[in-house]
Structure 1
Amino acid sequence: VEMSAGRTLKVGVLGAVRYNPVFLKAGPDDSNLVIARPETMIGRFLPEVREKSDIVVLLAALHREDAKTIAGKVEGIDFVLGAYGGSFSVRDEVVGNTWIFYTGNQGKRVGETRLFFNGQGEMAKPLSYMHYLTNRYPDKQEMLDFVSSVVVKVNAAKGAGSP
């Protein structure tokens, strides 16, 4: 990410999903794929990511309480950006030094977080917004035509009629 004064912000990203001890799928070369405990895998890869990054973000497909537990146990995560069930953030939530934001997982909301830095280049405080998506079409005719054409194509692909 390009910042003012020509400084570059390096953002490290890790991802985690809910632990499922019975998940087992065939992988390449006769191997098996499993889902490990998130805290185990984060602990394995976080030191390298932290060393190479200014900010570390965990993308979490985890229950909010699980994400809070991980944030409390594992040092070095700056943000947890999560989506799980209908859980979404309505206020700032911080566990230790980790900011936690949830948007839900139903495609109804888009979260936006802006980072502000002091004169020494250290993060001061994030500012987050939750944008609620509706079925209203855009005001610009060009965008309305584009969205309508996509809806027609999707409906045709599904075998449905026009909107």
Structure 2
Amino acid sequence: MLDRRTILACAISALTLSAPAVHAEQIQIFYADDGAAIDGYDTVSYFMGDAPMRGNPEIAVMWKGAVWYFSSHENREAFEANPHAYAPQFGGYCAYAVSRGYTVGTDPMVWQIVDDKLYLVHSSSIEKMWERDVQGNIAMAEDHWPQVLRD
């Protein structure tokens, strides 16, 4: 028969062994305010025109812990075929902030496509700093990513 010490030891072992997995799940890879990536904007639309389009919650897909909305079924299908081609860099967090070693949310209307990759920025005032050295900021952000999520 099991005594209290054996049961307690097993419980502590189970909690200790599962702690890293629980911590890993708490890291939000993609910034998703209220659960929707890019504040509900269609990530594929950034690559198709002059301005991004709002997505439709009825045309959505769950990917990497966030819900992604799309303005059309075709855009959803394009995303599902190759999500890495359309998902914003650095998890949709502000690319400039990541280049400086921290994370902050973004304004979906402040963005740039560089070498076929989508970069989002926190605000138009931060965008001015981002644009002073886009390639340098991307390189610094890549140095910090994804460790910046754990800090």
State the TM-score bracket (shorter-chain normalisation). Answer: under 0.3
- By percentage of residues, which structure has more helix? 2
Q: TM-score, normalised by structure 2?
A: 0.24
